[in-house]
Amino acid sequence: MKLNIALLPGDGIGPEIMEQGMKAVQAVCNKFGHELSYKHALVGACAIDATGNPYPDATHDICMQSDAVYFGAIGSPKYDNNPDAKVRPEQGLLAMRKKLGLFANIRPVTAFPSLLHKSPLRAELVDGADFICIRELTGGLYFGRPQGRSEDGNTAYDTCVYSREEIERIVRLAYQYAEKRRKKVSVVDKANILATSRLWRQVAQEIAKDFPDVESEYLFVDNAAMRLVQWPKSFDIIVTENMFGDILTDEASVITGSLGMLPSASIGLHTSLFEPIHGSYPQAAGKNIANPLAAILSGALMFEYAFNLTDEGALIRKAVAASMDAGIVTEDIASNSKAYHTTEVGDWIAEYIKKA
């Protein structure tokens, strides 16, 4: 099979972890006889520095011509610490989501047995946790208009907007995922306060009737946030709007022990994007200490969701699990054993795949 991907390393540790991800992707392609082609493209701070645009037209063209987008991270202190900056790296991420139609962010949250001691929660609360957060990605407060500041600069405003169509497609996707898993959907909103959330709940209740074999529950976002730390094993599929999903998925990722372990997929109208959920971690850039496992696992999702190659994805997961069992991990999750460099972890996993 021919696999054509766009490779967008981005900023900070993005290039380092993408290099390790590509080692695993190439090893799998060699193992299964796939033909891999890819093109690099700029996005984020590096794109601003080179072109003045965080998501250049040339990058968009490469993404549109690809079967999948493999993405690293966006962000730079150069822009984070300048509140007057007119162009920011994160604008590139929002533009990419909008132009590629990346309406659904899929974040699996899995408790790894070897990381239970790293979780801020007691092991018995986390052990066995296995759920998926499905976040609407192209609507809501992040994209609503009008948006801005008053002329005197003393008042700022953002507008949260959702259409029925935007809600229907993400909620229906959540129920389709639930049918393949444990048949439970948790719809998260703030329907007691927000008009957009009341529309979310209304549409979700209508769609639930089409899936009678799936259990439905409706939670206010504050209640859902508490449940995540009190009873994470109670969730199967969580579906929610953009900003709530942004916050809840980061909370969910921490309870499993490390931000550096969790991958994600963004399902799009034109193509789909695969990325680790952590940020650019500029403090670690160039030090060869960043955890590449989330990026490598994002490669597994790419094989599964973009190309429907489940055996290939499963082999990457097996290799990652083997590296953790063998203690071949970076300093963020190393216990009493030696901490390995980013490149050493990537090399070990690629070699495991080769020999499997």
Active site positions, annotated: 142, 190, 222, 246, 250
Tokens for 257? Answer: 């022990």
What is the helix, strand, coil percentage profile of the chain, to 5? 50, 20, 35
The amino acid that residue 30 corresponds to is N
Q: Name the strand (E) or helix (H) holding 89.
A: helix 89-100
Phi, psi of 188 (to 5 degrees): -110, 130
Phi, psi of 258 (to 5 degrees): -165, 135
- Which residues contact residue 72 at a Cβ distance below 8 angstroms, ignoring those fewer than 6 apart? 8, 9, 10, 11, 13, 14, 15, 17, 18, 275, 276, 280, 295
| Inter-residue contact 54 to 44 (CB < 8 Å) | yes
| Inter-residue contact 199 to 167 (CB < 8 Å) | yes
Q: Which of 326, 343, 314, 341 shows the shortest CA–CA distance to 28?
A: 314
Q: How many CB atoms lie within 10 A of CB 129?
A: 21
Q: Which residues pair with 183 in a beta bridge?
A: none
Q: Which residues pair with 185 in a beta bridge?
A: 216, 237
